[in-house]
Amino acid sequence: MFKLRTLAVLAAPVGIALVAWSCDRGTPASPRIDRPNFWAGGEQCPGGKFTGGGRIDPPDHQDAEDQEDGPSGPQMSGKVTFGFNVHLGSDGNGGCVVEKGEIQVVHHQPLFPFQVTWHVSIHSGANDIDGTAVPARTYFSSRGGLCVVVGPTAARTHAVTLQQEGTEQTRMTACDNGEPGSSPGFGPDAFRWESANFGDTQLQFLTGGNIQAH
Amino acid sequence: MKRIHTQWARRVAALGLVVGLTAGLQAAGVAQSVSGRAYGAYASTPLGSTAQAPLAVLPYGSGTDGNVAHAESDGLSAGSALSADFLNSITSGATGRWGDASAGGAQSVASVGTVNILSGLITATGVIANVASTRTASGAVSDANGSSFSNLVVAGTPVTSGEGTVAPNTRMNLPNVGYVVLNEQTLTGDGVTSSGITVNMIHVVMQQPILGLLGQVIGYQTVGNIIVGSASSGVN
């Protein structure tokens, strides 16, 4: 009897403590991410996949600190929504490529060129449009997050208002800087879309959505 | 008396262990699945109907490999109930995250350009529904950050000037029609291991009065629904 009572007295607080622990392990909204053990820096391709979707509002919330290079074209402004899933792999020479993936980007622009959509599709290591390999690389952001750069690579473009369809070179940068990826306001995750014909959003903190490095 | 105490002690011990182990395992578990769905517009009314379109749905079992789905339409109409242009729907998600194997996330965006509902009763020059659900070791959350209207006008009343947001679940009456709920949000999940959200940016509920024997109004019945900008995401 004594043993059973003792067991009960011990087990109940343990249970309660575990519940409290599971519900109350507070972590910051945007925790810094430790580098994975397999990461050696330099040009090594970490592999893995990146997934994301959401919205940016260039040029209002630029992440200038983590933008790798300057503007590649006119400033793209307005609302930009996007979604993507890309899997990275090695090209056999130590370089990094996209093994498979899709990127969809939509520009909601009240002024010229108005409304434009882009779509990139990659299968078996090749872009569906031109059959070429799609280069990729990763780097660490100043916030301890991980960024991926995909391209330059061909995208199918649909300029809805101008009634034009075609292909052009594009490049995507996406940074996973913490969870959740956006807060009321903006950030911490960031996204950049560069288009040869329609300009460059530059790296912008998300105003909605999330980006995750897996 | 001894027997009662023994049973009580056994029950408390068992309960404590079960609760503790369950909570512990859940906290240490990993995200099992993600879900996502988005569409630009839907109407089911006596004045005209259209299916949920363009509809993007994250394929079942997208978690491990990750996935993205999208759909787009230059424009659609449903009689005098609804017309809209430049509709785009995107949803993506995956389980696991670098540095946190228990993590997972899904996010969806539905965007619409110009919107005209019920022959100008409600108009907007842009609608975006943007949702995200995220699970980490510290819990599961969902939000609708980034959802907005452009130049929304309801029954002649400007609701947003330029780009703006509206408080969740804002209801406005539409005389002789019914009512509209703006930024309609529905949350699901326990916030620990699961979370989900659905946002309908414009949800018109068309109603007709139910009359009693003496012609008095004794209630209302729903005769139609119109939804513009719907996005859902979930993780567990």
- B214-229 mean pLDDT: 97
Q: Where are the beta strands (DSSP E) in chain B?
A: 34-45, 48-57, 67-78, 82-97, 100-112, 115-117, 122-124, 126-136, 139-143, 148-150, 153-154, 157-158, 163-164, 170-174, 178-188, 195-211, 217-235
Quickly count: other Cβ atoms within 10 Å of residue B231's Cβ: 33
- Among residues B115, B93, B90, the alpha carbon closest in space to that of A107 is found at B90
Lowest model confidence (mean pLDDT) among A106-115, B63-72, B216-225: A106-115
Calpha distance A188→A144 (Å, rounded):
11
3-state secondary structure of B105: strand
Lowest model confidence (mean pLDDT) among A77-81, B3-7, B212-216: B3-7
Share above pLDDT 70 across residues of chain B, in percent, rounded to a whole number:
86
Calpha distance B232→B105 (Å, rounded):
12
Judge contact between B94 and A53, C-beta under 8 A.
no
Calpha distance B55→B42 (Å, rounded):
10
**Cβ contacts of B137 on chain A, cutoff 8 Å:** 25, 27
- A151-166 mean pLDDT: 92
Residue A214 clears pLDDT 90, i.e. is over it: no
Buried b (16+ CB within 10 A) or exposed e, B184-217: bbebebeebbbbbbbbbbbbbbbbeeeeeeeeee
Residue A192 clears pLDDT 70, i.e. is over it: yes
Across the interface, do A106 and B88 touch by the CB < 8 Å criterion? yes
Q: What is the band of A47 on the pLDDT scale with cuts at 50, 70, 90?
A: confident
Instruction: Give the distance from CA B219 to its chain's centroid.
Output: 28
Residue A152: cis peptide before it, omega within 30 degrees of 0 = yes
Judge contact between B13 and A8, C-beta under 8 A.
yes
Question: What value does the mean pLDDT of chain B take?
Answer: 89
Residue A191 clears pLDDT 50, i.e. is over it: yes
Across the interface, do A206 and B143 touch by the CB < 8 Å criterion? no
Q: What is the band of B158 on the pLDDT scale with cuts at 50, 70, 90?
A: very high
What confidence score (pLDDT) does residue A163 get?
84
Share above pLDDT 70 across residues of chain A, in percent, rounded to a whole number:
78
**Cβ contacts of A160 on chain B, cutoff 8 Å:** 74, 86
**Cβ contacts of A5 on chain B, cutoff 8 Å:** 5, 9
Calpha distance A149→A175 (Å, rounded):
9
- With tokens 């679940």, the residue in question is B169
Across the interface, do A108 and B23 touch by the CB < 8 Å criterion? no
Calpha distance A189→A176 (Å, rounded):
5
Calpha distance B51→A160 (Å, rounded):
22
Residues in chain A: 214
Residue B93 clears pLDDT 70, i.e. is over it: yes
Residues in chain B: 236
pLDDT tens, residue by residue, B96-155: 887 787 889 999 999 999 999 999 999 999 999 999 999 998 899 999 999 999 999 999
What confidence score (pLDDT) does residue B53 get?
98
3-state secondary structure of A105: strand
Residue B74 clears pLDDT 70, i.e. is over it: yes
**Cβ contacts of A21 on chain B, cutoff 8 Å:** 23-24, 27
Across the interface, do B68 and A51 touch by the CB < 8 Å criterion? yes
What value does the CA radius of gyration of chain A take, rounded to a whole number of Å?
Answer: 22
Across the interface, do A81 and B145 touch by the CB < 8 Å criterion? no
Judge contact between B72 and B87, C-beta under 8 A.
yes
Nearest to A115 among B21, B86, B107 (CB): B86
- A168-180 mean pLDDT: 96
Helices B2-28 and A2-23: crossing angle, nearest 10°?
30
Query: Which tokens in the block code for residue A55?
Result: 């919205």
Across the interface, do A14 and B136 touch by the CB < 8 Å criterion? no
Nearest to B88 among A14, A117, A210 (CB): A117
Q: A174-188, B57-71, B171-185 — which one is most confidently predicted on average? A: B171-185
Residue A8 clears pLDDT 80, i.e. is over it: no
Across the interface, do B17 and A212 touch by the CB < 8 Å criterion? no
